Amino acid sequence: MDPLEIIANVKCVFPFFQPIFSADEHRIIGYEVLGRYRSDQEVVSLGPFFQDDSIPEEYRLEVDNAILKKALDKSFSLEEDVLLFINRDADLIMYDHGEQLLEILLDYQEKGFSLNRIVIEITEKNYSGTMDHLDHLLNYYKTYGIKIAVDKLGADSTQLDRIGQLAPNILKVDLMALRSNTVQQSFHDILYSISLLSRKIGATLLFENIEMEFQLQFAWRNGGRYYQGFYLQQPSPDFIDRDILKIKLRQKCHQFISYEKKKLESFYQFTDQFNQRMQQFVGKNKNQLQNDLLKELAERLTNIAFRLYICDHEGFQQSPNIFYRDNQWLVQNEYLHKNWSWRPYFLENIMKMKSIKKGILSDLYTDIETGEMIRTFSYPLREDEYVFIDMSYSFLFEHEGLL
């Protein structure tokens, strides 16, 4: 589509609306406004038009504002708790310091449209201006009750260092890269970090580009409250029944809950069984010397673990590593007396084991030395001694609920 044709026929631009669904109500809570252009032959997306830096900002801004006004006019028919998500490129919004956008919104506020229903989705990926100026503007918008969403998270992690400073209301996570189960673990790690960050700053997670069921399940499992994508509903020029997917989403939620409960039951069952196994072993070998006990335990766990070591309550290693390599257990004396209290949850788990007198199975994490996904089982061995057993990925893979 020729940009000049669009600029010359702004009256032909109009909004499309893509529904956003909630996990707690299983109904539509808002719509994202998307730009479309109607020519003589077809209706085309205006995405490429807005992303074309060769088109002067004032023309793109004119088209953007025309779409926004038409979307707001139409939105008076919605229930008063339905949100309207407005896309804005950071460079474009800073072209006039956000004045035109705010003028439009305040004008519609006078007409009765509450600004706490407005969510500005800000895309900063190629932003060339000063972040402090942008943050100042967005924080100013928030004083009017306008919500701020940071867009396109998940594609990369470059924005994470400033999200805490901006404190957006919504973090919008792009699941485009999660199109298959073979996606790199680093992508999962980034999304896990975003999930933790959202909880810390009190932001809501919105997952977009959900195109398959397993992506919806991933979003649900990783703390997503809002969902959007073609799997749920495609954009359209009209608003739809808020409860259009209520039955379907409840059914999917029930499936996800059942699957997760089954995984958790397997996890806790394995933990209990391994605790019993460790209790029996320690009871029979409690009088053995530390290194002899560790070596014998390693031999018994050859098909389960690849590394064992003993620490005291402050995290100082009291034994060498016993490490499995090339079909044999090796002694790594260089790890003796190292301190591991800096590791996340280390001291918390020590205190928990001391209190409950049982072992703990960790969450999944990537081992620094091997690069594999592993879990660690820690167990209170004897007075001020705790054994740590690193379980191999191959073992976890063979046991339901451990991956």
pLDDT per residue as tens digits for the range 301-342: 999 999 999 999 999 999 999 999 999 999 999 999 999 999
Report the pLDDT value the prediction gives residue 165, as an integer from 0 to 100: 74
Report the pLDDT value the prediction gives residue 159, as an integer from 0 to 100: 62
Report the pLDDT value the prediction gives residue 197, as an integer from 0 to 100: 83
Which domains, from first to last, does the chain contain? 3-230+244-258 (3.20.20.450), 285-397 (3.30.450.20)
Report the pLDDT value the prediction gives residue 319, as an integer from 0 to 100: 94
Structure tokens at 352: 């928990």
Structure tokens at 379: 């167990």
| Rounded (to 5) percent helix, strand, coil in the chain | 40, 25, 35
- Cross-strand pairs, 88: 122
Which spans in 76-98 are helix H? 90-93
Write the CB contacts of 103 (distance below 8 Å, at least 6 apart in sequence).
none
Query: What pairing do the DSSP bridges indicate for beta strands 328-332 and 83-89?
Result: unpaired
pTM, rounded to two decimals: 0.86
Distance between CA 157 and CA 385 in Å, rounded? Answer: 39
Spell out, as residue ranges, where the chain has pLDDT lower than 50. 157
For 372-402, b where at least 16 C-beta lie within 10 A, e where not — what string? ebbbbbbbbbeeebbbbbbbbbebbeeeebb
Report the phi/psi class of residue 366: left, alpha or beta, with left for phi > 0 and alpha for psi in -120 to 50: beta
Q: Which of 57, 2, 8, 61 is nearest to 35 (CA)?
A: 61
Q: How many residues does the chain have?
A: 403
Q: Which of 105, 134, 95, 99 is nearest to 33 (CA)?
A: 105
Report the pLDDT value the prediction gives residue 192, as an integer from 0 to 100: 78
Q: What is the pLDDT of residues 79-93, one digit of tens each?
A: 999 999 999 988 889
Report the pLDDT value the prediction gives residue 176, as an integer from 0 to 100: 83
